[in-house]
Structure 1
């Protein structure tokens, strides 16, 4: 649930067109507060609907922006989920390698280097459920490689299959960061549909 700097003293502005941004001197914190809003709103809607649904387990981690420190040390015996959706994807990502090993000294070119990364298979239940939910809602949900680090990497290491979903944040990590009311509602709809599948 952390937010990058500068965030202290943040003032959110809601425009008439539904755009939400900061006053311009801080980040908005849509990364990842928009995901938190979507989760809380959709869970309330699902519970109020009275419809049968999957067991709901919600994990809000700390230190995600600092190399997923919270999800790396979480006690996974406290959850039973084998499937997860992580709301942490903007329009732009950076390539993330989990570990890099190579070389023996700083003044010698190494003869080899070992990189470790994580990848979700397109045949996973998380992916097929996502595609089904998008179809039901009439969303055009596409799949792409994120190449970014997220809590999903830690979940996978602990036997939880997952998928990182976009949660309506733009220009993340900048004072130009924004989201829209429409994106927040659509995100909540999608999560709700995933819970009901």
Structure 2
């Protein structure tokens, strides 16, 4: 008997996704969760972040347990856009939006699961380990909230982030590092009809560089993409400047460095060839992490999944999460699937059975 109250779980999830919380606008969701966690007996601390980052705050909460051990559970409170005015629809056991917005299961499904598990443990008066929570702002688009999280508060030596898709039982033990590139090409303006040969077209420079650049899937561990391009004011002006944003990711730090060097060098060669100016701001967004399958945390998680009849599977991912930042800061962290699907799209959905299952897992894990 799991004890999971499916209706309560779904109702809470629906309540949370209806709270607008696009990245940078997390105040309402953070205030709501701080109050709800306090009602569950957590000692809650509101942790300030830079005003320019969010109108809200990170949340740290602690619930002492009577069993040995302590684990930090973490989710992010923000959503991507379009994430305002979400209207959830339940149909055939699936929760989705009405198609005009994302759903917000990324990552409020994790928050709802954690809180349902705590309610079950308390209702059944079951002993459990000490639970620490880290709910972060502005995870989407840079993992900014976890970067500013006050790690000195955390007493646990291990953590679980609930922020991935796939089958329940999926354990993300390997995730890539990411490097961000902001590129500005400076050409030379000229009248496109009267004297185009006197100009240097920044778009031509970029096109030459990109045509010689290896992008998309590099190998089974490495990807690269150019996602933002801005430039030009009129068709009768040779484009004087162009701004681009790109990224590279890899599970292997050496491969990531090599890919970034290739991208930067290709831009440099094209700029030199055309006599254009070039500025590249290259910043590490987050580092890769890799946790062995026989790590005690992974073994604990496997045991809890097996206890409920779910086959656990470890795998790598191509996406980053707060787990990258926590690992970088010395806290061993894995990322688990909540069953969320088609995230970051207006087709996002999650199965109620998966929400129940991940909540059930948490009760097994915390009470063992």
SS at 1:5 equivalent: coil
Comparing 43-52 with 81-90, greater Cα deviation is found at: 43-52
Does residue 98 (structure 1) correspond to residue 98 (structure 2)? The answer is no
Please give the residue correspondences for 1:1-150 in structure 2 after superposition, counting only pairs within 5 Å: 1-15=77-91, 17-91=92-166, 96-99=176-179, 103=261, 106-108=267-269, 116-150=287-321
Compare CA radii of gyration and give the structure with the larger one.
Answer: 2
Comparing 156-165 with 169-178, greater Cα deviation is found at: 156-165
Match of 1:190 in 2: 361
> How many residues matched?
190
Whole-angstrom CA distance in 2 between matches of 1:50 and 1:195: 13
Match of 2:221 in 1: none
Computed over aligned residues only, the root mean square deviation of the Cα atoms, in angstroms, reads 2.2
Whole-angstrom CA distance in 2 between matches of 1:89 and 1:60: 15
- C-alpha displacement at 1:179, in angstroms? 0.6
Decide whether the 8 Å contact of 1:98 with 1:118 is kept in 2.
no
Unaligned runs of 5+ in 1: 110-114
SS at 2:111 equivalent: helix
Decide whether the 8 Å contact of 2:176 with 2:289 is kept in 1.
no
Task: Pick the structure with more strand per residue.
Answer: 2
- C-alpha displacement at 1:180, in angstroms? 1.4
Unaligned runs of 5+ in 2: 1-76, 180-255, 271-283
CA displacement 1:113-163 (0-9 Å, x = unmatched) = xx9522122121221011101111111121111232011111112221111
Whole-angstrom CA distance in 2 between matches of 1:117 and 1:34: 25
- C-alpha displacement at 1:108, in angstroms? 4.1
Decide whether the 8 Å contact of 1:85 with 1:126 is kept in 2.
no
- C-alpha displacement at 1:185, in angstroms? 0.5
Poorly superposed stretches of 4+, deviation over 6 Å: none
Normalised by the length of structure 2, the TM-score is 0.49
Decide whether the 8 Å contact of 2:83 with 2:103 is kept in 1.
yes
